[in-house]
Amino acid sequence: MRVGGRTFRVGPGLAVFLALSVASALVIIFLTADPGTWTGLARMRPEFIALACGLMVTQWCLNGLRFKILVDALGDGVSIVTSLKAFMTNIFLGAVTPSQTGGGPMQIYVLSRAGVPVSKAFAACLTGAVLTVVCLVSSALAVLVSSPGLRSDFGPRMTGVLLAAVVVFGVLVVVFVLSLTRTPALKRVAGRALLAAMRGLGIEKRIGFTKRFLGGIDRYRASMAMFAGSKKSSVLGALLVTAVAIGVNALIAPVLLSGLDIDYDLSTIYPAQFILFFIAYFGPTPSAGGIAEFSNYWILTTLGIRPNMLGVYTLLWRFFTIFAGVTVGGFIVLSLIPRRGRPCEKPRAS
């Protein structure tokens, strides 16, 4: 798929995501279902489905608002609709690349089409990702520290999954810190690597492209410095919106359990969602396909949720927390692909 002069290979990643996610949910259904499963599903109360839809759309809009706040702070205002489109395309591309962080390029492209310079779009998207990480890590740590019983219930399997997610998180933190504290060294390494890669691919005009790329790093650093300086209030506002969006998303699980008439303890189910979101965000498979489903299954099993409904619940939970967003984001991405005879819009470079 070619958008904005850049090729995105979405087919293999999307296939892996769907195969892992759907297959995992079906395996869980196969292992846990009994005649009561289908009776319980048939009795699901539609008002809770409607409420779950409302929570899903609310957290989408809150994330769109988060990016609007950050972009507006850099002096290039965009509409809430554009910010929402950028977020939804991020969900889609994040589902076809390893980990949720892979959707950044498409997000930047959508913002640049709206007139935001690429360097500022990059700074806003990266800052948004950092705020998400801060909220996910702090909430997960708060749950683990304040709920020792919940932590001990996870068992060795979930402990291993959590450790893997922590390692991925640590690597991303190191890369981010180096990009801010060792910018000259980063430019040297990135410039040489880019030149070598283009030389190996036989790409012409390597010097000009590399200079523009390195100039973008300088503009990005200036934008990040702006966030750290006079725009702190905007960052704090975006941080608050991010935290609320994650909290709203976590409400989907108890709503679905209520709709399926499954007994649960809100004081354990709701905090457990923050652990699951942390795992899903840093999972090494596309949108944590397979990892999120089995992590959800293992956690809810330890919390005493009725086993015969776990597979159905897991499939519904993933639909409202990721599948629907990927579908909407995919349609938005398709609308960005130039039709035959229509020129492709180029992003603003500065």
Per-residue pLDDT reduced to its tens digit, 280-313 = 887 766 666 777 788 888 888 777 777 788 888 8
Q: Is the pLDDT of residue 41 over 60?
A: yes
Q: What is the pLDDT of residue 68?
A: 92
What is the pLDDT averaged over residues 124-135? 84
Q: What is the pLDDT of residues 141-172, one digit of tens each?
A: 788 777 766 656 555 555 665 666 667 667 76
Is the Cβ–Cβ distance between 225 and 198 less than 8 Å? no
User: CB neighbours (10 Å) of residue 31?
Assistant: 11
Give this prediction's pTM.
Answer: 0.75
Give backbone dihedrals phi and psi of 2, rounded to 5 degrees, phi first: -115, 120
* 53 or 159, which is more confident: 53
Q: What is the pLDDT of residue 25?
A: 75
Q: What is the pLDDT of residue 242?
A: 95
Burial 141-158 (b: 16+ CB within 10 A, else e): eebbeebeebeebbeeeb
Bin 279: left if φ > 0, else alpha if -120 < ψ < 50, else beta: alpha
Which single residue is written with the structure tokens 């909220």?
135
Contacts of 219 (CB under 8 A, 6+ apart): 117, 119, 120, 350
Is the Cβ–Cβ distance between 315 and 259 less than 8 Å? no
124: closest CA among 3, 238, 216?
238
Question: How many CA atoms are closer than 13 Å to the CA of 327, on its beta-carbon side?
Answer: 7
Q: What is the pLDDT of residue 334?
A: 81
Determine the Cα–Cα distance for residues 9 and 13; give it in Å rounded to an integer.
Answer: 8
Q: Is the pLDDT of residue 228 over 70?
A: no
DSSP letters spanning 2-23? EETTEE---HHHHHHHHHHHHH
The CA radius of gyration of the chain, in Å to the nearest whole number, is: 21
Alpha-carbon dihedral 269, 272, 278, 279, rounded to 10 degrees: -100
Q: Is the pLDDT of residue 11 over 60?
A: no
pLDDT-derived band at 245 (thresholds 50, 70, 90) equals: very high
Q: What is the pLDDT of residue 81?
A: 92
Is the Cβ–Cβ distance between 332 and 81 less than 8 Å? no
Q: What is the pLDDT of residue 326?
A: 87
Q: In the chain, what is the straight-line distance between the N-terminal and C-terminal CA atoms, in Å?
A: 25
Q: What is the pLDDT of residues 108-124, one digit of tens each?
A: 888 888 888 877 888 78
Q: What is the pLDDT of residue 156?
A: 59
Q: What is the pLDDT of residue 64?
A: 93
Q: What is the pLDDT of residue 50?
A: 96
Q: Is the pLDDT of residue 206 over 80?
A: no
What does the domain layout of the chain look like in residue ranges? 9-336
Q: What is the pLDDT of residues 311-337, one digit of tens each?
A: 888 888 989 998 899 889 888 888 877
Show the beta-strand stretches assigned E in the chain.
Answer: 2-3, 6-7
Is the Cβ–Cβ distance between 150 and 143 less than 8 Å? yes
